[in-house]
């Protein structure tokens, strides 16, 4: 069977530095132009019927990829099963909504606060619960995700079940306008955030935190015997993931201009986790592919209306049967490779 | 280096696995804990390395009570463990497994080559396999890697949990020869073994554990000739006359 990941890596290894830079810049340019793809006859096959194509690119596609990358640090890199990831998304979105409507902060001012609050809640949740393992952690995080939503429903000062409307769009920045008729700007912001996260994750992976996460994922007890402070690194992983979820939430609120508790249901947590597992846990490119497909396909096949969810579900089950480690799984080093070869 | 364990009690839920054990390990010794399955040998080592919490009693290492110190900090104090079942990171290469053994060392960069060289001298096989994933090694090679990785931390006290488990007789001989060699270079060793024959031949002193208690403490060579121990752990007591 063709191994896309290894084939890709092989081609990449064969390139010199200028070729690689050209390819990366070209690829980024192509991705940045995606919002306009719907306008041309030869690319308008990408167009989503019924929902606006440009809006779909931001939510769900961009947001799912962003959150899947964040969750991948928690689940894929350090092996902590988080079933309540949507909570951090909600905290970011509500931060933007409250600060934007009551205190007239703009989106860029809300962004660091939303990330910080999500991160803080990650630390507060992590301190007691990251001593738990496996299934227990999954249950507690699932509960946390629901608690955040239920608190929002029952708290009239943040709109209760009606949520908060009139969340401001981001202001015009560097000559770029944001708004309903400027969905492409939101997409660009999301792409830039995704690029930053890819860069950050790649740096972490090659360095000490990456090694520590890898050790914790493979065997937590042995990691401690190596002198790795397991609790510290688990909290780091958890809260970095949370901050990314919070950032996605801030952008989401300023894009949709409206937040309500039912946007942050358990469904979203499961879908994001599916993106990670479906694409290939632990591999950034797999996770990006998984997030893109899982967000885009349901929108693309909206024209078959009621059968949509059924077709999507069957396709998921089939693909997970054919590729149980995901579309682009992380590299498994079982093959014998001699040193120096 | 001095390890002193006083009246240690360890619990799994309500079940008491260690029921008041006191042992001492002095600088330069190989001390072995022998006993049947379920005697509490592995629990003892896990409690010394910090993977199991102390119920009551104390663990004094170099004059400091470490019973509340977390596992990763005990590594910094100089206690390293090659765990039960070897605990190799299967997805990391041999070299990466060794490197992570130095994870906490402040000047790990400066020490790395020297210590890798030492480990490769003890276990030349690991050098040949350095680029290979840990999960693909044979049982004996994994045991070598587990011990080598523990040595990367420059321990004062090395804890070995059943290094002979699942290995072929030739490999067992080899591993125990190297354990003696490591001890000669100044590393104190606390060894847990079911292979009492080998352990008693290599160790200076031994404790016999039964259901969470020490039932006998003596010089290893004395226990090797103790009829009760021979009958219970060496499987040769009754058959002695036939040799």
Judged by CB atoms closer than 8 Å, whether chains meet at A227 and B136 is answered as no
Average pLDDT over residues A210-227: 91
Greater pLDDT, B158 or A27: B158
CA distance B50 to B28: 22
CA distance A301 to A45: 12
Is any Cβ of chain B less than 8 angstroms from the Cβ of A283? no
Between residues A311 and A253, the one the model is more confident about = A253
Going by their DSSP bridges, the two strands B205-210 and B30-35 should be labelled as: parallel
B-proximal residues of A, 221-280, CB under 8 Å: 221-222, 224-230
H helices within chain B, ranges in order? 41-49, 71-77, 94-100, 108-122, 124-128, 139-151, 169-184, 196-202, 220-224, 227-229
The pLDDT, as a whole number, for residue A41 is 67
Q: Tokens 């005990």: give the residue.
A: B74
Minimal C-alpha gap between B234 and chain A (Å): 31
Burial of B74 (0-12, 13-18, 19+ CB in 10 A): buried
A262 secondary structure, DSSP code: G
Average of per-residue pLDDT across B225-229: 85
Say what percent of chain A tops pLDDT 90. 30
Chain B residues closer than 8 Å to A207 by CB: none
Tokens in use for A155?
């708290």
What is the average pLDDT score of chain A? 84
Best B103, B151, B160 member to test A by mutation, with max A CBs in 10 Å, is B103
How large is the ipTM? 0.88
Give B129's contacts in chain A (Cβ within 8 Å): 339
Question: What confidence score (pLDDT) does residue A334 get?
Answer: 44
**Is the pLDDT score of A241 beyond 80?**
yes
Region B120-142: mean pLDDT is 91
Q: What is the mean pLDDT of chain B?
A: 90
| Shortest CA distance from A229: residue in chain B | B72
Q: If pLDDT is split at 50, 70 and 90, which confidence band does B241 have?
A: very low
Q: What is the per-residue pLDDT across A291-308, written as a single tens digit (0 to 9) for each?
A: 888 888 877 877 776 777
B15-26/A164-165 β-pairing: unpaired
The residue among B238, B237, B242, B243 whose CA lies nearest residue B223 is: B237
List chain A residues with CB under 8 Å of B70: 224, 229
The tens digit of pLDDT for each residue in A154-199 reads 988 888 788 888 888 777 778 777 777 778 888 888 999 999 999 9
| Mean of pLDDT values over B81-86 | 91
pLDDT at site B83: 92
Task: Give the sign of the dihedral formed by CA A48, CA A54, CA A59, CA A60.
Answer: positive
pLDDT tens per residue across span A83-120: 999 999 999 999 999 998 888 888 899 999 999 999 99
- The pTM of the whole model exceeds 0.80: yes
State residue A333's pLDDT score: 53
Enter the tokens of residue A206: 């090659």
Average pLDDT estimate for B163-188: 92
Instruction: Name chain B contacts of A221, Cβ cutoff 8 Å.
Output: 51, 71, 83, 87
What would the mean pLDDT of A252-268 be, rounded to a whole number? 89
- Cross-chain Cβ contact B87/A221 below 8 Å: yes
Contacting residues for A285 by C-beta, under 8 A, at least 6 apart: A5, A8, A328
Mark which residues 80-99 of B lie under 8 Å from A by CB: 80-81, 83, 87, 89-93, 95-96, 99
Per-residue confidence (pLDDT) for residue A316, from 0 to 100 = 80
Q: Residue A332's pLDDT band (boundaries 50, 70, 90)?
A: low
Per-residue model confidence (pLDDT) at position B236: 60
pLDDT band for position A43 (50/70/90)? low
- DSSP-derived 3-state class of residue B132: coil
Query: Is pLDDT larger for residue A166 or for residue B159?
Result: B159
């Amino acid at each position: 069977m063709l191994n896309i990941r290894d084939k890709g890596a092989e081609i990449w290894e064969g390139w010199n530095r200028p070729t690689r830079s050209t390819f990366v810049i070209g690829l980024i340019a192509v991705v940045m132009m995606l919002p306009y793809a719907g306008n041309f006859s030869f690319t308008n096959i990408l167009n989503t019927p019924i929902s606006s194509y440009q809006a779909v690119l931001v939510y769900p596609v961009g947001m799912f990829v962003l959150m899947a990358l964040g969750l991948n640090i928690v689940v894929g890199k350090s092996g902590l099963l988080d079933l309540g990831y949507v909570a951090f998304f909600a905290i970011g979105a509500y931060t933007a909504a409250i600060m934007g409507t009551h205190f007239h902060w703009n989106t860029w001012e809300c962004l660091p606060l939303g990330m910080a609050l999500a991160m803080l809640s990650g630390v507060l949740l992590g301190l007691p619960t990251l001593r738990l393992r496996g299934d227990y952690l999954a249950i507690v995080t699932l509960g946390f995700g629901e608690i955040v939503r239920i608190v929002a429903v029952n708290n009239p000062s943040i709109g209760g079940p009606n949520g908060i409307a009139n969340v401001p769009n981001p202001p015009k920045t560097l000559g770029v306008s944001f708004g309903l008729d400027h969905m492409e700007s939101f997409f660009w912001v999301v792409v830039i955030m995704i690029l930053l996260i890819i860069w950050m994750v790649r740096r972490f992976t090659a360095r000490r935190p990456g090694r520590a996460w890898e050790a914790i994922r493979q065997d937590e007890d042995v990691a401690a015997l190596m002198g790795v402070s397991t609790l510290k690194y688990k909290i780091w992983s958890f809260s970095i993931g949370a901050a990314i979820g919070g950032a996605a939430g801030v952008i989401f609120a300023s894009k949709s201009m409206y937040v309500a508790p039912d946007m942050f249901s358990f469904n979203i947590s499961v879908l994001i986790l599916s993106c990670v597992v479906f694409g290939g846990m632990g591999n950034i490119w797999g996770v990006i592919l998984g997030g893109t497909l899982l967000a885009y396909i349901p929108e693309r096949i909206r024209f078959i209306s009621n059968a949509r969810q059924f077709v999507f579900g069957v396709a998921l089950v089939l693909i997970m049967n054919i590729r149980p480690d995901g579309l682009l799984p992380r590299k498994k080093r079982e093959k014998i490779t001699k040193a120096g070869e | 280096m001095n390890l002193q364990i006083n009246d240690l009690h360890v619990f799994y839920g309500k079940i008491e696995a260690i029921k008041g054990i006191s042992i001492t390990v002095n600088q330069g010794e190989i001390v072995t804990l022998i006993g049947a399955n379920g005697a509490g040998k592995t629990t003892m080592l896990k409690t010394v390395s910090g993977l199991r919490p102390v119920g009551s009693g104390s663990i004094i290492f170099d004059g400091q009570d470490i019973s509340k110190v977390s596992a990763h900090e005990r590594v910094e104090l100089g206690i390293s463990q090659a765990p039960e079942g070897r605990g190799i990171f299967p997805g990391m290469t041999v070299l990466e497994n060794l490197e992570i053994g130095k994870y906490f060392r402040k000047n790990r960069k400066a020490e790395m080559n020297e210590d890798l060289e030492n480990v490769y001298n003890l276990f030349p096989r690991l050098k040949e396999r350095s680029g290979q994933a840990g999960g693909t090694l044979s049982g004996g090679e994994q045991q070598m890697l587990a011990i080598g990785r523990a040595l990367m931390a420059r321990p004062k006290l090395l804890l070995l949990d059943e290094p002979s488990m699942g290995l072929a007789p030739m490999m067992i001989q080899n591993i125990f020869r190297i354990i003696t060699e490591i001890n000669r270079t100044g590393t104190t060793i606390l060894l847990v073994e079911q292979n009492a024959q080998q352990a008693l031949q290599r160790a200076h002193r031994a404790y016999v554990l039964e259901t969470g208690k020490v039932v006998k403490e003596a010089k290893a060579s004395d226990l090797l000739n103790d009829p009760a121990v021979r009958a219970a752990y060496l499987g040769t007591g009754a058959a002695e006359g036939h040799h």
